[in-house]
């Protein structure tokens, strides 16, 4: 406890010192508000996290223990989670802005909530469904029902999932911070009245074009994220994993299932520093739904869309309204839709290929050689600590200053952003999988003389294939959010049009932010949802079934 208090005070002193140094030696009209912006962002994320935890735990327990709720909630929330958040955010903005002045703050909270809540919900759902049958039967035989059953069985069982899900939610909140606090809508920049670090960083990069200050702010934000991670999540995960929250029975965080997915929670050890990352929501998302569940999810999704359209237009969308929407910009670019889809998919594929190759190399080396581990593990901590979207203006300013051609700079920025975003999910999964190759398998490979490339191709790669697929699912999911954000560069000056590169993401951004064309926005969002669901069904599900045979049990 004493060490915790010292770490807490020391971290606050460092943050205060960094704030004072920035305010003293940096000349910028906005920098005087740095303390207010820091407090606003942190408090906004903390409040939304608390709301997400309460919602995720409540509805997760409800869906896991009630058949009707499971039939309605689970497939609908799964459908929402499958759609990139930044894809439907412009539509949510149109809906919330129609509510009045509070719409700006509500839009920020909604974006943060939708980025946080799903991980907690599916973590709780998976934890309850993973409770052994003998435990539930024993609880019933002892008369544990209602609140007593929830308190003594369910809450201890879901504690690790809640902590790991909240950790994911916290990181995702910082991930979407800059997109939530700096909104360009129909040519105007809109931000919360209290500002925020995301707003400040975006304005410094887009409006002032101050590369040095942007880097300073990025370092400042990264330190805050890493400070909170070390102070809270690392300690909570240690307590959750040692049985503190499990008085009834021990529930391992590994989550190895029939699909042969490697440990759902990976632990990175470097001295006394641990960085957990829960991946347990993947099996829940890829479970097979019944026809009734699919129908219910579709009906609820369509109802939500019609409700938003009704709020925006003041009436249910008629054929005339829809036709009018398709006659307005950027509907004229829809003729290029196949090409735009191909360009976006090409960027995602290139970034994924590079990320996969680097992640496999780094993961295998880090898992088997301590020297590489001492280098790659700190890189992982830093990489996960940096809010990826906050890198966007910094990388673009640097490349544009180096190359001098904005479109090429934006293209390269998009690929680099995708790589930084995708690589860490696969790295963690691969490290966990390599470390968990059974000792017996390693000994047999040594006896057979498997070394070097032969050992990698015959032992390591087959053992980590399920984990590669698991990491790929998460990497592609977060990659869609990143590419929607990174294909479009907003402009702070009315005389200068926004900069964009051809792609599905930039067209969606134009429809939502630049022209406010809700009809085209809904159409494009439907296209994105179909692509995401098709890839998930035709690629990832099949690969998981195919690689199930590589799961080794000794």
Q: Kindly list the distances between the CA atom of residue 540 and the CA atoms of 145, 192, 195, 473, in Å, as whole numbers in the listed order.
A: 39, 39, 40, 7
Convert 451-466 into a string of H (helix), E (strand) and C (coil): CHHHHHHHHHHHHHHH
Q: How do residues 394-403 score in pLDDT, each as one tens digit? A: 888 889 889 9
Are β-strands 265-270 and 273-278 bridged in parallel, bridged antiparallel, or unpaired? antiparallel
- What range does the domain containing 67 cover? 2-550
- The candidate with the shortest Cα–Cα distance to 124, out of 59, 220, 66, 174, is 59
- 176 near 292, Cβ under 8 Å? no
According to the model, what pLDDT value does residue 135 have?
78
CA distance 158 to 412: 42
CA distance 456 to 396: 38
Torsion of CA 176, 178, 181, 187, to 10 degrees: -110
- Give the other-Cβ count within 10 Å of 222's Cβ: 18
Assign residue 516 a region: left if phi > 0, alpha if psi is -120 to 50, beta otherwise?
Answer: left
Q: How many domains does the chain have?
A: 1
Task: State the DSSP code for 316.
Answer: P
Q: Which helix (H) or strand (E) holds 475?
A: helix 461-486
Please state the pTM of the whole predicted model. 0.75
Q: Is residue 170 classed exposed, middle or buried when 0-12, 13-18 and 19+ CB atoms within 10 A define those classes? A: buried
According to the model, what pLDDT value does residue 262 have?
32
Q: How do residues 38-89 score in pLDDT, each as one tens digit? A: 999 999 999 999 999 999 999 888 888 888 877 777 777 777 776 777 777 7
Q: Is residue 291 classed exposed, middle or buried when 0-12, 13-18 and 19+ CB atoms within 10 A define those classes? A: exposed
325: CATH: 1.10.3720.10
- The candidate with the shortest Cα–Cα distance to 220, out of 385, 378, 381, is 385
Per-residue pLDDT of the chain (554 residues; tens, 9 = 90+): 677 777 778 888 888 999 999 999 888 888 999 999 999 999 999 999 999 999 999 988 888 888 887 777 777 777 777 677 777 777 777 677 666 667 778 888 888 888 888 878 887 887 787 777 777 778 778 777 777 888 888 888 888 778 877 877 887 888 888 778 887 766 677 778 788 898 898 888 878 888 889 889 988 988 888 888 777 876 776 666 554 334 333 333 333 333 332 333 333 333 333 333 344 444 444 455 566 656 666 666 666 666 666 655 555 667 787 888 889 989 999 999 999 999 999 999 999 999 999 999 998 888 888 888 888 877 877 777 677 777 888 888 889 889 989 999 999 999 999 998 888 878 877 887 787 777 777 777 778 777 777 777 778 888 788 778 877 877 888 888 889 888 988 776 666 778 899 999 999 888 887 887 888 888 888 888 888 878 877 888 788 777 765 554 44
- Calculate ∠ Cα 533-547-428, nearest 5°: 80
Q: Kindly list the distances between the CA atom of residue 119 and the CA atoms of 49, 54, 91, 96, 208, in Å, as whole numbers in the listed order.
A: 11, 13, 22, 24, 36
The rounded Cα 325 to chain-centroid distance in angstroms is 32
Q: Is residue 421 classed exposed, middle or buried when 0-12, 13-18 and 19+ CB atoms within 10 A define those classes? A: buried
């Amino acid at each position: 406890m004493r060490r915790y208090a010292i770490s807490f005070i020391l971290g606050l002193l460092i943050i205060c010192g960094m704030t004072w140094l920035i305010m003293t030696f940096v000349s910028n009209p906005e920098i005087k508000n740095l303390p207010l912006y820091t407090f606003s962002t942190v408090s906004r994320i903390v409040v939304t996290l608390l709301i997400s935890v309460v919602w995720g735990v409540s509805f997760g327990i409800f869906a896991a223990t009630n058949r009707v709720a499971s039939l309605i909630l689970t497939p609908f929330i799964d459908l929402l989670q499958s759609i990139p958040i930044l894809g439907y955010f412009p539509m949510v903005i149109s809906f919330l802005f129609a509510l009045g002045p509070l719409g700006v703050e509500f839009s920020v909270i909604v974006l943060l909530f939708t980025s946080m809540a799903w991980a907690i919900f599916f973590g709780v759902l998976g934890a309850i469904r993973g409770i052994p049958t003998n435990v539930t039967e024993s609880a019933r035989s002892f008369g544990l029902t209602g609140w007593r059953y929830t308190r003594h069985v369910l809450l201890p069982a879901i504690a690790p999932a809640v902590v790991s899900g909240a950790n994911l939610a916290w990181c995702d909140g910082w991930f979407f911070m800059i997109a939530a606090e700096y909104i360009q809508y129909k040519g105007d920049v809109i931000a919360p009245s209290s500002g925020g670090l995301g707003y400040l960083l975006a304005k410094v990069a887009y409006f002032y074009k101050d590369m040095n200050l942007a880097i300073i702010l990025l370092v400042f934000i990264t330190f805050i994220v890493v400070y909170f991670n070390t102070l809270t999540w690392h300690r909570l995960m240690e307590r959750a994993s040692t049985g503190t929250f499990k008085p009834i029975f021990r529930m391992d965080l590994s989550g190895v299932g029939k699909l042969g997915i490697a440990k759902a929670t990976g632990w990175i050890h470097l001295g006394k520093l641990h960085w957990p990352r829960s991946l347990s929501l993947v099996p829940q998302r890829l479970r097979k739904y019944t026809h009734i569940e699919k129908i219910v999810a579709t009906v609820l999704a369509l109802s939500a869309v019609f409700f938003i359209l009704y709020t925006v237009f003041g009436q249910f969308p008629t054929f005339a309204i829809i036709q009018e929407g398709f006659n307005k910009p950027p509907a004229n670019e829809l003729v290029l839709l196949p090409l735009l889809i191909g360009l976006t998919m090409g960027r995602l594929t290139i970034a994924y290929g590079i990320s996969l190759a680097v992640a496999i190399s780094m993961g295998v080396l880090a898992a088997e050689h301590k020297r590489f581990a001492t280098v790659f593990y700190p890189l992982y901590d830093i990489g996960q600590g940096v809010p990826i979207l906050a890198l966007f203006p910094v990388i673009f300013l640097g490349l544009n200053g180096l190359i001098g051609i904005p479109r090429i700079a934006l293209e390269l920025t998009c690929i680099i952003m995708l790589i930084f975003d995708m690589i860490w999910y696969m790295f963690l999964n691969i490290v966990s999988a390599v470390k968990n190759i059974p000792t017996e398998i390693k000994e047999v490979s040594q006896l057979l003389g498997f070394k070097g490339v032969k050992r990698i191709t015959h032992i390591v790669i087959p053992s980590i294939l399920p984990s590669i697929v698991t990491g790929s699912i998460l990497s592609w999911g977060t990659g869609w959010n990143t590419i929607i954000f990174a294909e479009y560069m907003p402009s702070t000056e009315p005389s200068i049009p926004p900069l964009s590169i051809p792609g599905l993401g930039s067209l969606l951004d134009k429809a939502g932010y630049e022209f406010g064309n809700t009809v085209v926005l809904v159409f494009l969002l439907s296209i994105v949802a179909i692509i995401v669901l098709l890839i998930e069904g035709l690629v990832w599900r099949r690969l998981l079934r195919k690689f199930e045979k590589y799961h080794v049990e000794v």
